[in-house]
Amino acid sequence: MTVKIAVLPGDGIGPEIVGEAVKVLNAVAGKYSHEFEYEYGVVGAAAIDKVGEPYPDETHELCLNSDVILFGAIGDPRFDNNPKAKVRPEQGLLKMRKALGLFANIRPLVMFDALAERSPLKTERVKGVDFVCVRELTGGIYFGRPQGRTEDGTVAYDSCVYSREEIERILRLAFDMAMSRRKHLTVVDKANVLATSRLWREIAKEIAPEYPDVEVEYMFVDNAAMQLIQWPAAFDVMVTENMFGDILTDEASVISGSLGLLPSASVGKENALFEPIHGSYPQAAGKGIANPMATILSAAMLLEYLGMKEEGAAVRVAVAKAIEEGVVTEDLAEGGKSYSTKEVGDFIAKSI
């Protein structure tokens, strides 16, 4: 199969971790006789520096003309520490999600047995954890208008807005996913306070009868934050709005032992982008210490999205082998021997 892959390394550790994922994709191409064609684009601070905006038109064109997109990370402390900055790298990511119609962010969390001891939670609680968070990605408070400040600058506001159409398509995707898994769906909202959440819950209750095999549970987000840490193995598919999903998935990531392990897929009707859930980790940029596994596992999701099930599985097996054999970066080494970003990528590519 010939696949056109747009590669957007982004900022900070982005180029390093994406480099390792490409290395792994090349190993897959070699083993399974595929042809992967990569074309690179800029996004984030890298794009601001180059052309003055965080998601340039050329990058958008590149994404539209590719089969799939592999993305690293966005963010730069030069902008984080300057609340007055007119353009911000993150705007590029939001614009890209919106412009490509990537309304569903799929964030799976699977516990690697070899890491159960590393989790900050008790081993018996994290054994067998295997759930997916389906996060709505192009609506809610991230995009709602009006947003801004009053003229005198003393009051600021954001709006959380959701349409029936936006809610329905993400809920259906989550119900379908539950059907393909353990048939348990947790709808996370704040329906006791927010109007948007009440609309979510209303629509979920309308759709539920179409999926009689799916057991649906409704949970307030504050309670979900607690249950997730207390009983992570109780979750199968969780679906929620944009910001709740952002927060809950960072929380969930610590369960696995490292934020550097969690991949994600952002999908829409026509486009699909694959990225680690972690940020650009600027303190580590260029040091060769970043964990490339989240990006490599995102590449596995990319392959599976293209229907390459065996290839995706091969990547997962290779990552698990690296973890079992202790070929890991310092975030997972627990003070023991650690390997560089490149060495971990080499090991995984070689195993494939």
Active site residues: 142, 190, 222, 246, 250
- When CB distances are held under 5 to 8 angstroms depending on the partner's kind, the choice from ligand IPM, Mn ion, none that residue 93 binds is ligand IPM
Q: 178, 211 in Cβ contact below 8 A?
A: yes
CA distances from 15 to 18, 223, 239, 281, 341 (A): 5, 37, 31, 12, 11
Task: Enumerate residues 305-324 that contact ligand IPM by CB under 6 A.
Answer: none
Amino acid at 186: T
Residue closer to ligand IPM, measured from CB, 250 or 343: 250
170 binds ligand IPM (CB under 6 A): no
In the three-class reduction of DSSP (H, G, I as helix; E, B as strand; rest coil), residue 275 is classed as strand
User: In angstroms, what is the minimal distance from the CB of 184 to Mn ion?
Assistant: 24
Phi, psi of 195 (to 5 degrees): -65, -40
- Kindly determine how many residues on this chain lie close enough to bind ligand IPM according to the rule CB under 6 A: 7
Q: At its nearest, how many Å lie between ligand IPM and the CB of residue 274?
A: 12
Question: Given phi > 0 = left and psi -120 to 50 = alpha, else beta, which region is 341?
Answer: alpha
Residue nearest to ligand IPM (CB): 90
CA distance 27 to 30: 5
261 touches ligand IPM (CB under 6 A): no
* Shortest distance in whole angstroms from residue 142 CB to Mn ion: 11
**Residue 166 binds ligand IPM, judged by CB under 6 A:** no
| Contact pick of 241, 246, 311, 330 for ligand IPM (by CB under 6 A) | 246
The residue number with the shortest CB distance to Mn ion is: 246
90 binds ligand IPM (CB under 6 A): yes
161 CB burial (10 A radius; 0-12, 13-18, 19+): middle
Buried b (16+ CB within 10 A) or exposed e, 310-341: ebbebbbebbbebbeeebbbbbbeeeeebbbb
11 binds ligand IPM (CB under 6 A): no
- Residue range at the interface with Mn ion (CB under 5 A); choices 82-90, 196-204, 222-230, 241-249: 241-249
Residues in the chain: 352
Beta partners for residue 237, in sequence order:
132, 185
**Site of interaction with Mn ion (CB under 5 A):** 246
**Site of interaction with ligand IPM (CB under 6 A):** 74-75, 90, 93, 246, 277, 279
